[in-house]
Amino acid sequence: MIITVDIGNSNTVIVAYEGDAKIIHQRILTEKENPFEYYKQSFVSLNVKPEAVVVSCVVPVIQRAFCDAIQAVFGFEPCLVNADTINGFDILLDNPRDIGADFIATSMGAIGKYPLPAIVADVGSATKLTYTDDHAAFRGGVIIPGLGTSMKAFRDYIPHLPEVELTIPKNVIGTGTIDAIQSGALYGLIAQIEGLAQRMEEEAGQPCVKILTGGYASLIRDNMTGFVYDPDLLNDGLYEIYRKGMVS
């Protein structure tokens, strides 16, 4: 059994694999106040003995405590995926060490599962669109404030407006304040992603497979044009990295 862990700013996704089967799938909150005990208990409760734990972490302040928790539960250090530990993965950036673990993992997920070139839209605390070319090289991408981040800023700056549930309205043209805000947030996000992906594809100079993933992706998946929805792309990428021996 191989356990993969995607530690994001808001949520932590744990997926365990045996061969091609996913035998554990959990989404829990990311804990920043007492991460050692929180993650220790989370993994104790799984009651498993994995061969390895492969991790993408974009929250540096909890990384050491998370690794200590894995050591305490399983007796070994996890495999941390980052620019320093990845092997055999072409990173064609101005500074290759700038790449985040999540970018590496989603790109590898695309490489392992889809024809290339590919554009990945990872919709989480930040919305990230990345481009992997037809030679499986990571070329870069776009980072914009995420849906939750944008809505928090909206409430902070305009506090008299109502808080709204993040559900996509039937129509783009809202006939009330609540559905107008919902439309702006969700159809606005769709327009951002589709528009940026189109521009990226034009710069690439050839058609790209477009993949939608991330914590907020399920809210917009049915209204996206030309995207494949793949909620486990990042964890699948971590598993691909481990199976190919690409992490030291």
**What is the layout of strands, in order, in the sheet containing 118-123?**
138-145, 126-132, 118-123, 209-213, 228-229
The amino acid present at 219, given as its one-letter code, is L
Active-site choice (20, 84, 94, 102): 102
- Using alpha carbons, select from 54, 58, 57 the residue that is nearest to residue 16: 54
End-to-end CA distance of the chain: 19
Tokens of 4: 């993969």
DSSP string, 228-248: EE-TTHHHHHHHHHHHTT-B-
Cβ atoms of 72 and 41 within 8 Å: the answer is no
Tokens of 133: 């070319």
102 assigned to active site: yes
Positions marked catalytic: 102
